Amino acid sequence: MKKKLNIALMGSGFMGKAHSYAWTLVNKFFDVDYEPVLKVNFGTDEELTREFAEKWGWEEISTNWEEVINRDDIDIVDIVTPTYIHKDMAVAAAKAGKHIFCEKPCAVTYDQTREMAEAADKAGVVNYLNHNYRRVPAVAFAKQMIEEGKLGTIYHWRGVYLQDWVMDPNFPLTWHFKKDLAGGGPLFDLSSHAIDLARYLIGEVKAVTAVNKTFIEERPLPGQRAATFSAGGEVNSEKGKVEVEDASFMIAEFENGALGSFESSRFAAGRKNYNTFEVYGSKGALTFNFERMNELQYLNLDDPADEQGYKTILVTNMTHPYAGAWWAAGHVIGYENTFVHAMADFLKAVEKNETIEPNFHDGEKIIRTLEAAALSSEEKRRVEVSEIK
């Protein structure tokens, strides 16, 4: 019989839903030794939290996060709140000896991420930072191919992550536009994912040269329940200042010599969750677009010259990473399944008390790179990531 693990979910928005889904399903699809128990859900809005918890079967709710984290019966703290509070919650959880599953971006500053990593290391708890796109089967398969040497020496990385959900100037000033709450705009929200993928697939960024840009300087204050991807209720007639960029374009020099770029924007009409990358190497190339997440494009320079071309691999075979847990070749899966994959790997790490990636140390490196980019944009010069202390 499986050992029960009590989960505390900190937050109940868009990500709370995705995590609740995944905690419900993880041991149906993957062979893990634990049965996650949806123990308690923390939220600041009691009514919303109660409603959410009932729907998803969280046994209890609370509006006091410190109490929740310090409960003796909690094994795992799962953090899905706005970014600014990640650090306090994660440090508290580490101190309380809880394993931590934390949404991205890691925190709003490089300093905070170091504090998180140190606390987790000191406490010896398993900590996981949910850059979930690593666990799309097509991406995990890309990793496998690159590790097998199928791309040879890497020359280029092109990471492009575009959305359009705030293009309307009347989209309100949600927490995503406040530097102290979000860390930054698409640089933190989107490029953090892209940088995680680049580090995962090809290696560390050495130096960045970036330009950030804000198109809409002021926005109406938000009404009730505005949230990620959602304008919420009626907006306020009062306006406030946007503190983050609307778009961030960055050139990256990698330690291995590759030349790359990260371009993210919330002002790219028609792009909903257009998280894409291209990797070019001496032996081949791979491209990925999350909006067609079951596909990976592969160009193999070992093919006969006249038969070369980008191949669309449907990464749904039973032998593809993670895919064997699901349906059958050609039976495509969705966004939500990446969370199940993440939890399966996390629970295996918990079982063996092992390190899992990405974790708070990865968060450190990512946020450090983002801060380097912000500095580069501000000082209009190339910045070595190591300059950020």
Between residue 41 and residue 100, which ones bind a second copy under the rule CB under 8 A? 55-56
The torsion of the CA quartet 61, 126, 359, 287, rounded to 10 degrees, works out to: -90
Touching a second copy, residues 287-316 (CB under 8 A): 290-295, 298-301, 303, 305-316
Among 44, 63, 170, 228, binds a second copy (CB under 8 A): 228
Closer by beta carbon to a second copy, 83 or else 113: 83
Least distance (Å) from a second copy to the CB of residue 312? 5
Contact 346, 77 (CB under 8 A): no
Whole-number Å distance between alpha carbons of 210 and 187? 10
Beta-strand ranges (E) seen in 28-150 are 34-42, 60-62, 76-79, 99-103, 127-130
Q: Would you say 186 or 356 has its CB closer to a second copy?
A: 186
The identity of residue 75, as a single letter, is: D
As measured in angstroms, the least distance from the Cβ of 124 to a second copy is: 32
Residue 100 CB, shortest distance to a second copy, in Å, is: 24
**Single-letter code of the amino acid located at 319:** T
The overall longest dimension of the chain from CA atoms, in Å, is 65
Q: Provide the 8-state DSSP code for 2.
A: P
Residues 6+ apart with CB under 8 A from 352: none
- The distance of closest approach from Cβ of residue 136 to a second copy in the complex, given in angstroms and rounded to an integer, is 10
CA distance 42 to 237: 31
Pick from 12, 127, 265, 369: which binds a second copy (CB under 8 A)?
265
**Terminal Cα-to-Cα distance of the chain (whole angstroms):** 48
Both tokens assigned to 82: 């706005």
Distance CA 102, CA 79 (A): 5
Closer by beta carbon to a second copy, 236 or else 300: 300
Q: Using the rule CB under 8 A, is 375 a contact of a second copy?
A: no
Q: In the complex with a second copy, which residue's Cβ is closer, 65 or 321? A: 321
Q: What is d(CA 208, CA 373) in angstroms, rounded to the nearest whole number? A: 6
Stretch that binds a second copy, among 40-48, 71-79, 92-100, 224-232 (CB under 8 A): 224-232
* Euclidean distance between CA atoms 187 and 371, whole angstroms: 9
Q: Does 23 bind a second copy (CB under 8 A)?
A: no
CB of 119 or CB of 296, closer to a second copy = 296
Please state, as a whole number, how many other Cβ atoms lie within 10 Å of the Cβ of residue 330.
9
| Distance in angstroms (rounded) separating the CA atoms of residues 118 and 363 | 12
Minimum CB separation from a second copy for residue 319, in Å? 6
322 binds a second copy (CB under 8 A): no
* Residue 4 engages a second copy in binding (rule: CB under 8 A): no
CA nearest 197: which of 284, 83, 279? Answer: 279
Q: Does 141 bind a second copy (CB under 8 A)?
A: yes
**337 interacts with a second copy by CB under 8 A:** yes
Task: Map the footprint of a second copy across residues 231-250, applying CB under 8 A.
Answer: 246-247, 249-250
User: Using CB under 8 A, which residues numbered 146 to 165 contact a second copy?
Assistant: 155-156, 158, 160, 162-163, 165
Q: Which CB sits closer to a second copy, 213 or 241? A: 213
